[in-house]
Each structure stands twice: as C-alpha cells, then as structure tokens.
C-alpha cells in the first residue's frame, strides 16, 4: 500500500507580508495569491519492522530511526519530524512504522512557499493514511502551528492555506490566528492570459526568509512608521488586485505590482539588493509594466507582468543574469491525497 499526496506552490500576487504577526494582529492583513502547477509531494509506505525512514529526494537526505514517540528535532528534515511528533501527541497514536518520501518542485528559499506547502502535503498523506478528522481549515491551521509554534520557524500564514485550498484566493488575517479564505471566481480566459503575461523567473539565488521576516516583525513592534506605512499600502494593493482580476482589467496588473514593489522594499532591509533591482529595471526597460520578488524577498523567484507580446522580449533580456524562466499554469485544486 502507498499513500500519496500533492499540494501546489503559490504566487503571492498582492499583500505579501501582511499575514505576519504582529501586523496581522494589530491591523488585520489581506493577501491575494494563486496556486500554480508546481508541487510538493509526499508518499507514505507502511512498514512492519519497527523502523521509521524519512527520505527527501530533492534534498538527497535519508534518515532511519527506530519507531519511537518523538523524533529528534536537530536541523535535519525537521519539518518531517515535527509533523510526526505533533500527530503522535495530538491523536494519542502509538509509535508508527513507515517510510516517508517527499519531493518539492522548487528549491528551499525560492519564495513560492515551499516549506509550508511541504508540511501540508505531508499532513495530507498522514490524514489519508490514519483517517484523521481534519477539514481544510483544520489542516491548514495545524500546518501553521507545526511550523510557527512547534518548530519556531519564522513566517506568515498564507502559504498553508493556499496549499490546502488551492485556486485564486483573497485571504484575510485577524488577531488570534483567525483566517478567512475567500475563493475568487476568475474567468478562465483571464487566468490563461495572466499566466501567459506573468513571467516567472528564478534568479538562481536563495535567501533565508526568516531573517527578513524577523526584521519585519521588529519594525512593527517598534512602530517603524516607514515599515508600517508600507504594509498598510500592501494591504490596499491586495484589494486593488482582487478588483482588477474579477473585472478582467488585466492591463492594470503590472501597475498594481509596481505599486506594491515600491512599498514592499520599505518593509525591511534585505528584501531587495543591487542585483534584484537591476533585474527588475531590465525587465521594465524591455516591456514589463511591473513585478516583484516572490515571498519574503532577497532572492529566489521574481515575476513580471509583460502585456501584449512583450513576454519573449523580457525573457531574452533577462538571460544576461544567468537565471531561468519557469513555465507554469494556474491551478484550481489544492491539497489532494489518495491510496494505492
């Protein structure tokens, strides 16, 4: 028997960073994101020999343990271990014996929500195997708690919900970890055109998002006016993006992205750097009307809105920086799991 699951990565189109406490607790956050055809996958094979095997194909790491109630969290595949530990604790399960194999279509630090999406995928596989009573909101919140509370990994709340629900969503974040996911019914032709015009570019760099997020949190707690104003503007941006997509006003998307990028850079140091600025300026000189760094910033993926027939011109111009353009489509489904 094999239990499999897959969860989609996401593009944060607007409002990024406003899902991070304490800003979301104090002012309320709002984000518009959309899942894409890149995935985190998990497969569980039950065993009968009293062993636990954790196998990450993309990281090329494999660890074997005796079947115990709590695996050591020591910096090696901690997401895998943290999920197992929490499920044993919460559901009073006896130690399990299994092999867990995972793979993510994008590298860590890419800005597409890889870590949180992987947590959702692994949880989905366990929920399928053990028949756990987890609805969509329950699973997304549990994924958030494992990452942010149990494992003390800095970050926001959007990625877990995006991976679980899938599709294009306008998400609202409130104090006490309350989240409301509002699915948007975008006409298919608008999504097809958006996917064509949004060039997804990997800079071939990565970043440690936790450092940027921690500074962002510090700026909010200290009342840094420049940072707070930036986050409030990004919250406004999410509403602007929602209206443009629902109305099919795609010619506004680039300007809305550009509006957000100007303020996002003020949230914390490290979100941009001279190389990222040069990539952004090059894309705009060659026809893009706006764009942003995906995720917390500092590296990883960037994307640019290229209206009309400017897509190929922008892609050609970006070749000088040594990165890669990634093909994708928007997806409507979130977490899926099944047993073979």
Average pLDDT, the chain: 94
DSSP string, 167-182: SEEEEEE-GGG-EEEE
pLDDT for residue 72? 96
Domain boundary among 161, 185, 209: 185
**Which residues lie across from 170 on neighbouring strands?**
32, 182
Judge whether residue 305 has pLDDT over 80: yes
**Which residues lie across from 10 on neighbouring strands?**
35
Looking at the domain assignment, is residue 24 inside a domain?
Answer: yes
Residue-range definition of the domain harbouring residue 78: 3-185
Looking at the domain assignment, is residue 194 inside a domain?
Answer: yes
pLDDT in tens, 324-336: 999 999 999 999 9
pLDDT in tens, 49-59: 999 999 999 99
Looking at the domain assignment, is residue 129 inside a domain?
Answer: yes
- Are 199 and 145 in the same domain? no
Q: Which residues of 46-63 are buried (b: 16+ CB within 10 A; e: fewer)?
A: eeeeeebbbbbebeeeeb
Domain boundary among 137, 152, 185: 185
Looking at the domain assignment, is residue 95 inside a domain?
Answer: yes
- Are 94 and 174 in the same domain? yes
What number is the average pLDDT over the span 121-146? 97
pLDDT band with cut points at 50, 70 and 90 for residue 269: confident
pLDDT for residue 205? 79
Instruction: Based on the residue annotation, tell me whether 150 is a catalytic residue of this protein.
Output: no
- Are 291 and 197 in the same domain? yes
Burial class from Cβ neighbours inside 10 Å (0-12, 13-18, 19+) for residue 255 reads middle
Looking at the domain assignment, is residue 334 inside a domain?
Answer: no
- Are 164 and 117 in the same domain? yes
Give the total number of structural domains in the chain: 2
Contacts of 247 (CB under 8 A, 6+ apart): none
Q: What is the pTM for the complete model shown? A: 0.95
Domain boundary among 150, 185, 220: 185
- Residue 30 and residue 171: Cα distance in Å, rounded? 6
What number is the average pLDDT over the span 28-42? 97
| CATH of residue 61 | 3.30.230.10
pLDDT for residue 133? 93
| CATH of residue 220 | 3.30.70.890
pLDDT band with cut points at 50, 70 and 90 for residue 270: confident
pLDDT for residue 336? 98
Catalytic residue among 49, 159, 251, 329: 159
- Residue 326 and residue 118: Cα distance in Å, rounded? 20
Is residue 44 within 8 A of residue 5, CB to CB? The reply is: no
pLDDT band with cut points at 50, 70 and 90 for residue 263: very high
Higher pLDDT, 296 or 39: 39
- Are 87 and 164 in the same domain? yes
**E strands within the chain?**
3-14, 29-46, 51-56, 61-66, 98-104, 168-173, 179-183, 198-202, 290-293, 301-305, 324-326, 336-339
- Are 74 and 118 in the same domain? yes
Is residue 66 within 8 A of residue 50, CB to CB? The reply is: yes
Judge whether residue 254 has pLDDT over 90: yes
Judge whether residue 207 has pLDDT over 80: no
- Are 193 and 305 in the same domain? yes
Judge whether residue 206 has pLDDT over 80: no
């Amino acid at each position: 028997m094999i239990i499999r699951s897959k969860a989609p990565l996401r593009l944060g189109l607007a409002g990024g960073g406003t899902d991070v406490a304490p800003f979301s607790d104090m002012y309320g956050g709002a984000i518009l994101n959309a899942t894409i055809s890149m995935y985190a996958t998990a497969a569980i094979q039950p065993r009968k020999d009293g062993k636990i095997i954790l196998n990450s194909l993309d990281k090329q790491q494999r660890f074997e343990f005796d079947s115990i109630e709590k695996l050591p969290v020591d910096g090696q595949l901690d997401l895998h271990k943290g999920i197992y530990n929490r499920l044993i604790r919460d559901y009073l399960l006896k130690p399990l014996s299994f092999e867990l194999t995972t793979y993510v279509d994008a590298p860590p630090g890419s800005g597409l929500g890889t870590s949180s999406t992987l947590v959702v995928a692994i949880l989905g596989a366990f929920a399928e195997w053990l028949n756990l009573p987890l609805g969509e909101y329950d699973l997304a919140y549990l994924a958030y708690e494992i990452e942010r509370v149990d494992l003390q990994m800095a970050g926001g709340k959007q990625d877990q919900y995006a991976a679980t629900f899938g599709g294009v969503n306008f998400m609202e974040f409130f104090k006490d970890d309350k989240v409301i996911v509002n699915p948007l019914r975008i006409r298919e032709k608008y999504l097809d055109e958006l996917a064509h015009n949004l060039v997804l570019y990997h800079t071939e760099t990565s970043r440690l998002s936790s450092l940027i997020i921690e500074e962002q949190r510090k700026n909010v707690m200290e009342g840094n006016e420049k940072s707070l104003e930036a986050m409030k503007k990004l919250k406004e941006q999410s509403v602007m993006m929602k209206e443009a997509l629902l109305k099919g006003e795609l010619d506004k998307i680039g300007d809305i992205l550009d509006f957000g990028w100007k303020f996002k850079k003020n949230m914390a140091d490290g979100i941009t750097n001279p190389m990222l600025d040069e990539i952004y300026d090059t894309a705009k000189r060659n026809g893009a009307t706006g764009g942003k760094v995906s995720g917390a910033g500092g590296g990883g993926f960037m994307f640019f809105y290229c209206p009309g027939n400017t897509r190929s011109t922008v892609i050609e111009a970006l070749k000088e920086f040594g990165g890669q353009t990634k093909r994708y489509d928007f997806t409507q489904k979130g977490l899926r799991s099944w047993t073979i």
